[in-house]
Amino acid sequence: MTAAVSRDWVRCVKCGAIAYGKRYRRDLRTCASCRHNGLMTAPERIESLADEGSVREFEAPSITDDPLHFTDTKSYLRRLHEAREESGLDEAVVCAHAAIGGFPVVLAVMDFRFMGGSLGRGVGERVTRAAEAAVQERVPLVIVTSSGGARMQEGNLALMQMVKTSQALAELDAGGVLTISVLTDPTYGGVAASFATLPDIILAEEGARTGFAGPRVVEQITGERLPESFQKAESLFRHGFVDAVLARRSIRSRIAAIVRTVQAPSETGACGPSNWLVTDSERLPETPAWDVVRMARKAGRPTTLDYANMLLDDFTELHGDRLGTDCVALVGGIGRLDGRPVMMIGHQKGRDTAERVARNFGMASPGGYRKAARLMRLAEKWRLPVITLIDTPGADPGIDAEEQGQAWAIADNLRLMSGLSVPIVSVVTGEGGSGGALALGVADRVYALSNAVYSVISPEGCASILWKRAEAAPRAAEALRLHAPELLRMGIIDAVIEEPGNGAHDAPLATAQLLRAVLSDAIDDLRRHEVDELLKARRNRFRSY
């Protein structure tokens, strides 16, 4: 929000900087000095998001009665009249058909000027109608929120709008329709606890505050002084509740990329399988298993994010398990592989020592597996093939992981992937360690790079338990038969992708190109199968071991 200095100049309420009014509005009411986001009106917001000339507002009912005959210092009807006079709007939300980046969407954009963006019958009805239109037309619903909570003047009738709008979002889930929300400052109460936080993808403006109870209420009840980061978008991101925190000016392009990835028609490539896809173990060199283990662990091998950025157009990383964590050892997101929309998920070890430590060497927490499960369920909703890239020493051996239900999280992924109705292709790109690897490995096609390993336990762990000394790790590696030729002979993997040159660490781009050909061919092949056929073959694969 800003304070007017004169007709042409405004002052930032956060840092006090003075800006020329026209430039300030052209910058979407973002302070050039401190990046504080001022209050945008719903019409301004729609103009900033929608393609020029594409907006057609909905006809929607307005509230004209006062069911509770509510009066505080003013009657409710008087407050409604004043809100309409001051804002020029009929309600606290504007709904419209529009286009973003050339793709049709339905918009529901809230306006805080109208009684603090409060959720009442009018807002609930309009958001619900917007959701119904999105389902009927099978176009994405984009919601921009700004609210202090439920409208007290409508009492329990306002409270019931939380359920009404949540049911509308559930219909979008059932219909496989993409939903996106943008949290702006502030988003609280009944709006935060319903349609603001239910969409598939949640974006937030920098500095936006979101929560159920406001900070003053929390301080009064707890008697505690709250940290500056409390309920801020950046804190919500760290705790896995939003997918991205964005500068206001970049929100449109991010939404456009997401919609384009999910909505654009899928293309079918013609690359076919490459000559580096080996299905005969006799064609592979018999390298000592321990040498392959050391090769699989080389720090220079491409990571999941490396592959995502080399293979996918419009890659958008998605974050968080929506239960309080965003595990950085396991990453994922959407993009287009040679024109095919896909969901890519994988372990993220990191490249140098500092990053490997920060990412726990690719050993995912239970929150990481739950994030993967969330992304796989989104892929199923949007009918996207799932690609998983496996590179982890194993499950996290720490106390926190056990206390957070690691076994439960892994088991849930095994069950989920067994019944996922979209094609799944897995590639072991480095280490495939134990249940931590298998949590991403229940797939229709399972491949491994030629210098990758896949094992029930690490060679060191096996040596310590059975040989009683870690120095026996090379012997344990041979006994475990964990490298590509043996995996192929046992039918654990379907084929081996031969790494070019000295290995993926030495030729990352060339390796990515081979991976592109193999993944594209596998997805095209799997798409030809009916869902029942796909699920039966997947279950029979693991039933046969």
Question: Tell me: the pLDDT tens digits for 405-447?
Answer: 999 999 999 999 999 999 999 999 999 999 999 999 999 999 9
pLDDT at 148: 94
Residue keyed to tokens 């173990």: 281
pLDDT at 155: 96
The three-state secondary structure class of 130 is: helix
The model's pLDDT over 379-393, given as tens digits with 9 standing for 90+, comes to: 999 999 999 999 999
What's the Cα-to-Cα distance from 316 to each of 89, 308, 355, 373, 451, rounded to whole Å?
35, 9, 21, 17, 29
pLDDT at 271: 53
pLDDT at 2: 66
What band does 122 get if pLDDT is binned at 50, 70 and 90?
very high
Q: Which CATH class is domain 39-262?
A: alpha beta
At residue 396, does pLDDT exceed 70? yes
> Same CATH topology for 39-262 and 273-540?
yes
Beta bridge partners of 210: 187
The three-state secondary structure class of 341 is: strand
At residue 544, does pLDDT exceed 90? yes
How many angstroms separate the CA atoms of 315 and 309, rounded? 7
What band does 7 get if pLDDT is binned at 50, 70 and 90?
low
The three-state secondary structure class of 295 is: helix
What band does 198 get if pLDDT is binned at 50, 70 and 90?
very high
Instruction: Establish how many alpha carbons lie within 13 A of residue 136's alpha carbon, considering only the half-sphere containing its beta carbon.
Output: 8
What band does 217 get if pLDDT is binned at 50, 70 and 90?
confident
The domain ranges of the chain are 1-38, 39-262, 273-540
At residue 4, does pLDDT exceed 70? no
The model's pLDDT over 321-373, given as tens digits with 9 standing for 90+, comes to: 999 999 999 999 999 999 999 999 999 998 888 999 999 999 999 999 999 99
Stronger pLDDT, 267 or 481, i.e. the higher one? 481
Structure tokens at 108: 């529901």
Instruction: Give one DSSP letter per residue of 152-181, joined into a string.
Output: GGGHHHHHHHHHHHHHHHHHHHHTT--EEE
Give the residue from 308, 305, 330 showing the smallest Cα distance to 319: 330
Q: 273-540 falls under which CATH superfamily?
A: 2-enoyl-CoA Hydratase; Chain A, domain 1 (3.90.226.10)
Q: What is the mean pLDDT of residues 128-139?
A: 97
pLDDT at 270: 52
Residue 484, sorted as left (phi over 0), alpha (psi -120 to 50) or beta, turns out to be: alpha
Give the residue from 86, 83, 93 showing the smallest Cα distance to 128: 93
